[in-house]
Amino acid sequence: MKQLLSFIRKEFNHILRDKPTIMILLLMPVIQILLFGFALSTEVKNTNVVILVPKADNEIRHIIDRVNASDYFDIVGFVHNADEIENAFRRGDAKLAMIFENNFSENLKRNGKAHIQLIADASDANTAKTFTFYATSIINSSQKDFSLQNNANGMILPEIKMLYNPQMKSAFNFVPGVLGMIMMLICAMMTSVSIVREKEMGTMEILLVSPMHPIYIILSKITPYLLLSLVNFGTVILLSVFVLHVPIVGSFFSLLMISVLFIFVALSMGLFISTVTNSQLIALLISGMGMMLPATLLSGMIYPIENMPVLLQILSDLVPARWYIIAVKDIMIKGLSFSDVLHEALVLTAMAIFFITISLKKFKVRLE
Amino acid sequence: MNKIVNPISEIVIKADHLTKKFGQFTAVDDICFEVRKGEIFGFLGANGAGKTTAMRMLSGLLIPTSGVGQVAGFDITHQPEQVKRNIGYMSQRFSLYDDLKVWENIELFGGIYGLNASQIKIKTDELMQRLNFEDERNKLVKSLPLGFKQKLAFAVSVIHHPQVVFLDEPTGGVDPITRRNFWEMIYEAAVDGITVFVTTHYMDEAEYCDRVCILVDGKIEALDKPGDLKVRFNADSMDEVFLQLARKATRLDG
Amino acid sequence: MIDVKNLYKNYYPNDSGKFAGIGKPGIKKNESVLSEDTGISFNVSEAELFGLIGPDGAGKTTIFRILTTLILPDKGIATLGGLDVVNDYKEIRKKVGYMPGRFSLYQDLTVLENLEFFATVFNTTIKENYDLIKDIYVQIEPFKNRRAGKLSGGMKQKLALCCALIHKPEILFLDEPTTGVDPVSRKEFWGMLQKLKTQGITILVSTPYMDEAALCDRIALIQNGNFLNIDTPENIVKQFNRDLWSVKSNQMHHLLTDLRTFDSIDSSFAFGDSIHFTVKHKKDFSKSEFESLLLAGGHNKVEIRKINPGIEDCFMELSKKTDL
């Protein structure tokens, strides 16, 4: 145990004394989140809205007031038919149209159910997804106002319709995507490089010619990067919640669980890389090209997997980040529970077990 | 070895109060010397004494903090490009490309130093013959024994018949016979009028130089013919001379 | 303590026809070649200081790595204190200290951190075996908070030795500990090895510097993966059964080229400020005749004397006789 602790302390010394690298590792998530989030957070403010109301009454006015009161929306006018909505979109006067159904208030009072259609200009998919999300939450919360007032079980059903880009696939992916990318980078790349560096420096020779169990070498190499990844996980979550206002709808604990699982997959991949190469450069290339690129391109973070050719879709099944991103979206955005992402968790567990097993098998007690 | 260097032959290397500082650290401290055409000039010193820094300044790779240096008639601070065109350089660490064949290395460096295709061809044939290398012509450099590599590297470094060749520990780790063959090549180059500036760890090799300069903590502690130094320090060998001087060293940084 | 029999290792696959390693079948030119196609064999007694002397690429590091259980031999047996390097590697790793070439230290850790780290790796503490390293450690102690990367070559060498000694090994393996280190530190280092020997530690050390051979109890001269000779330095010198002459003149370079033209001279090599040469037939050579020939050839201040050979002379003589 003492051996292990002293080994871990040494690893921390290496990492903390390499100031430029640690700065890059800690600042990277901040920069990425801000870069990805910058466009989103400014565009969403003051989105222009047109409204189509058959007949204004108290309920409708209440909802319109709440929409107007929010920072996210400016109501720029009322329209009378679908053509006018389309014209407003074409001219760029509005990005969102809210259409109240005929007899909205009556339906709400009588049937406890009423419909609002939200039509969004989704040519900029990211923002469209975000502002419809905000609009929906405003509608949902105003529905509670009515329930309180009338003591009835009223329910307003927003129907969302995306114009121009109905699939909306690239939106809202970046927080899970950045998490996946950064953890892959820190765990896989840094772990493999730090083990291979000992081989290059010749210190691995001394460690091997010592009575120390090789598992200690592995454990002490992954511990600091596990912690570093958790710090970065915290940074990304804090930034996305408080700066980008991306809420964590599901449970934070589930999110943490699935993230730790993913970190283990990434660490085991780094370990695996270090067993197949003796050069830091090759380790960097494998983890950079072989792990980072798939983690960004094939994970669904940038390009929707459904739109990929079948071959790439099959390949994307092999990319751990893909499963992680799905799970994070389910928990963080959709608010599902851990049991709903069991499938993804199992895939990740299998991957971790696979890589750890072959790494341990391949980890040599000798130099060749 | 006391080859006679004509005392009035031209000065090819001149260091005039050369100093190089890295931050607070003075790597080379106010050194002055002159080397004449065809001379073999040995540069000795412990690790970290400033040998490599001085050599890098003279070959136009580092700008001196103060002082003036001239190599092959050009100023090392203001005309580094002309300096580089008139010198050859070989170090133990880097000399040839391991993953290129013998003739490809010769072609490459011949080209770098401005030889045309026919000159390169003539030089290659001549070199292969002189080094008894015909069979190795098409081999990758990494497959050659170290001694072969070092001899080839030296031949390549003087392929353009430079005025000065800088050799940074050229014989480290080489077997004793190859080491002597190597020095015989150095002699031939010097007889051809190439000035040789060489650093070494082997003290017996200091004896092969016309003059040696011993650097301690960046300063010149002794500069003379090996024979005269031995007399002055009342020593049997250059090793003893060096030990007497190096014990003064206080500097620790490598 | 160390017993090596018929050790053979080729880094190339056996069917490739290429060879890099140790124990290559040599072509015998005369009886002095020790190994034919039987690999290399040698043994080291307890508390002996045994030197492997040879140039880069001779196979020194390969021998060290096999003995420290880092690589496996293709053929042959090696045991350390009766333990087999292949099967008993775990036991061996508790008993040996190893200092690889290039002083494998953590450059970004301080002197003290390096030492503490290696102590715990070997399940011990600095305190426990302080006696053993004390003499060496006090020399670097003033710099204990300095990072290893900022030390001079000599200091790194001392620290690396402390790290290799910290667990009080029975056998110490030192791969080129003096390469690239200044002459003063080299001298001091050999002094430390003599002291360690008196503490009962068996030491196997390699060096490319022939002048260090005389400081070992016994040496093996090694070139191209094979031993040229194994014996005490004194006996190796004694086995140089020819006359060796030294000559000086005022024109040393011409002297060398002139010597090469004399038929009676076998070999001639520059040695420091003189030239060492051997003659083909003892009876055909007369010193005075040779001297007058040189004087007639324009040499002055000619000095010829018969000398005792050094290890380097022996190495060169032996390596000429083999075609490995």
Q: Using the 8-state DSSP alphabet, how is residue B213 labeled?
A: E
Measured at the CA of A125, the angle between CA A123 and CA A129, to 5 degrees, comes to 125
Residue B168 has pLDDT above 70, yes or no: yes
Give the C window 142-181 contacts with A, CB below 8 Å. 163-164
Out of C182, C223, C252, the one facing B3 most closely (by C-beta) is C252
Which residue is it, tokens 């200092």?
Answer: C99
Q: Using the 8-state DSSP alphabet, how is residue C200 labeled?
A: T
| At least 3 CB pairs under 8 A between chains C and B | yes
Out of C185, C252, C271, the one facing B204 most closely (by C-beta) is C271
Out of B47, B184, B237, the one facing C152 most closely (by C-beta) is B47
Give the C window 106-125 contacts with A, CB below 8 Å. 106-109, 113, 116-118, 120-123
Contacts of C69 in chain A (CB under 8 A): 208-209, 366
Query: pLDDT band at C169, cuts 50/70/90?
Result: very high
| Residues above pLDDT 90, as percent of chain B | 35
pTM (predicted TM-score): 0.78
Query: pLDDT band at C43, cuts 50/70/90?
Result: very high
The whole-angstrom distance between B187's CA and the closest CA on chain C is 7
Say which residues have a Cβ less than 8 Å from residue B184's Cβ, sequence separation at least 6.
Answer: C256, C270
C282 touches chain B (CB under 8 A): no
Mean pLDDT of A46-58: 81
Q: Which pLDDT score is estimated for A44?
A: 62
| At least 3 CB pairs under 8 A between chains A and B | no
Q: What is the rounded CA–CA span in Å between residue A55 and residue A46?
A: 25
| Residues above pLDDT 70, as percent of chain B | 93
More confident residue, A169 or B39: B39
Residue C190 has pLDDT above 80, yes or no: yes
More confident residue, A176 or C197: C197
Q: Which pLDDT score is estimated for A162?
A: 58
Q: What is the rounded CA–CA span in Å between residue A259 and residue A89?
A: 40
Q: What is the rounded CA–CA span in Å between residue C239 and residue B177?
A: 19
Q: Where are the beta strands (DSSP E) in B46-133?
A: 66-71, 74-75, 87-91
Q: Which pLDDT score is estimated for A150?
A: 54
CA dihedral A86, A88, A91, A96 (to 10 degrees): -90
Segment (H or E) for A182: helix A174-183
Nearest residue in C to B204, CA atom = C272
Q: Which pLDDT score is estimated for A154?
A: 59
Out of A7, A202, A209, the one facing C102 most closely (by C-beta) is A202
Nearest residue in B to C271, CA atom = B204
- Which chains touch A (3+ CB pairs under 8 A)? C
**Domain C241-308 classification at class level:** alpha beta
Q: Are A166 and A122 in contact (CB under 8 A)?
A: yes
Q: Which pLDDT score is estimated for A152?
A: 53
Q: Which pLDDT score is estimated for A126?
A: 66
The per-residue DSSP string of C153-186 comes to HHHHHHHHHHHHHTT--SEEEESSTTTT--HHHH
Q: Which pLDDT score is estimated for B249?
A: 59
**Residue A254 three-state SS:** helix
The reply to whether residue C184 touches residue B243, judged by beta carbons under 8 angstroms, is yes
pLDDT in tens, A118-151: 888 766 666 777 788 888 888 877 777 765 455 5
**Residue C32 three-state SS:** coil
Chain A, chain C: beta-carbon pairs less than 8 Å apart: 79
The reply to whether residue A7 touches residue C108, judged by beta carbons under 8 angstroms, is no
A303, HSE (Cβ side, Cα atoms, 13 Å): 14
pLDDT in tens, B192-245: 999 999 998 788 888 889 999 998 888 999 999 998 999 999 988 888 888 888
Angle of helix B238-246 versus helix C183-198 axis, rounded to 10? 90
Q: What is the rounded CA–CA span in Å between residue C324 and residue A189?
A: 45
The per-residue DSSP string of A100-129 comes to EPTTHHHHHHHHSEEEEEEEEETTSHHHHH
pLDDT in tens, B88-142: 998 876 678 888 889 998 988 888 888 888 989 998 998 888 888 888 888 888 8
**What phi, psi does B197 have (nearest 5°)?**
-115, 115
Give the tokens for residue A342.
Answer: 């069991």
Contacts of A13 in chain C (CB under 8 A): 108-109, 113
pLDDT in tens, A90-102: 777 888 888 888 8
More confident residue, C183 or B32: B32
Contacts of B252 in chain C (CB under 8 A): 143, 151-152, 155
Contacts of C163 in chain A (CB under 8 A): 206
How many C-beta atoms surround the C-beta of residue B42 within 10 A? 22
Contacts of A210 in chain C (CB under 8 A): 93, 118, 121-122
The whole-angstrom distance between B45's CA and the closest CA on chain C is 8
Q: Which pLDDT score is estimated for C270?
A: 87
The reply to whether residue A210 touches residue C93, judged by beta carbons under 8 angstroms, is yes
Say which residues have a Cβ less than 8 Å from residue A281's Cβ, sequence separation at least 6.
Answer: none
Q: Which pLDDT score is estimated for C222?
A: 92
pLDDT in tens, A142-194: 777 765 455 555 566 666 665 554 444 343 567 788 888 888 888 888 899 99
Residue C34 has pLDDT above 60, yes or no: no
More confident residue, C170 or A168: C170
Out of C70, C102, C113, the one facing A367 most closely (by C-beta) is C70
The whole-angstrom distance between A223's CA and the closest CA on chain C is 17
Q: Which pLDDT score is estimated for A155?
A: 66
C101 touches chain B (CB under 8 A): no
The reply to whether residue B246 touches residue C55, judged by beta carbons under 8 angstroms, is no
| Residues above pLDDT 90, as percent of chain C | 49
pLDDT in tens, B47-93: 778 888 999 999 888 999 999 999 999 999 999 888 988 999 988 76
The reply to whether residue A212 touches residue C121, judged by beta carbons under 8 angstroms, is yes
Q: Are A118 and A157 in contact (CB under 8 A)?
A: no
How many C-beta atoms surround the C-beta of residue B123 within 10 A? 19
C127 touches chain A (CB under 8 A): no
Parallel, antiparallel, or unpaired for β A47-52 and A73-79? parallel
Q: Are B114 and B107 in contact (CB under 8 A)?
A: no
* Residue of C69, C92, C104, C166 to mutate when probing chain A, most A C-beta within 10 A: C104
CA dihedral A119, A123, A129, A131 (to 10 degrees): -70
Contacts of A22 in chain C (CB under 8 A): none
How many C-beta atoms surround the C-beta of residue A8 within 10 A? 18
The whole-angstrom distance between B173's CA and the closest CA on chain C is 5
More confident residue, A14 or A169: A14
* Domain ranges in chain C with CATH number 3.40.50.300: 2-237
Contacts of A10 in chain C (CB under 8 A): 106, 109, 113, 117
Lowest mean pLDDT among A6-10, A110-114, A182-186, C132-136: A110-114
| Nearest CA-CA partner of C7 in C47, C34, C28 | C34
pLDDT in tens, C68-105: 999 999 989 999 999 999 999 999 999 999 999 877 89
**Domain C2-237 classification at class level:** alpha beta
The reply to whether residue C70 touches residue A209, judged by beta carbons under 8 angstroms, is yes
Out of A2, A212, A366, the one facing C69 most closely (by C-beta) is A366
Residue B4 has pLDDT above 80, yes or no: no
pLDDT in tens, C267-314: 888 888 889 999 888 887 888 888 888 898 888 888 999 999 999 999
Q: Which pLDDT score is estimated for C10?
A: 86
Q: Which pLDDT score is estimated for A136?
A: 82
Contacts of C123 in chain A (CB under 8 A): 3, 211-212
* Domain ranges in chain C with CATH number 3.30.70.2070: 241-308
Chain B, chain C: beta-carbon pairs less than 8 Å apart: 109
Residue B2 has pLDDT above 70, yes or no: no
Give the tokens for residue B196.
Answer: 């040789």
Nearest residue in C to B239, CA atom = C183
The reply to whether residue A206 touches residue C104, judged by beta carbons under 8 angstroms, is yes
Q: Are B33 and B212 in contact (CB under 8 A)?
A: no
The reply to whether residue C252 touches residue B1, judged by beta carbons under 8 angstroms, is yes
* Residue of B180, B196, B214, B217 to mutate when probing chain C, most C C-beta within 10 A: B180
Mean pLDDT of A212-235: 90
* Mean model confidence pLDDT for chain A: 82
Segment (H or E) for C41: strand C40-44
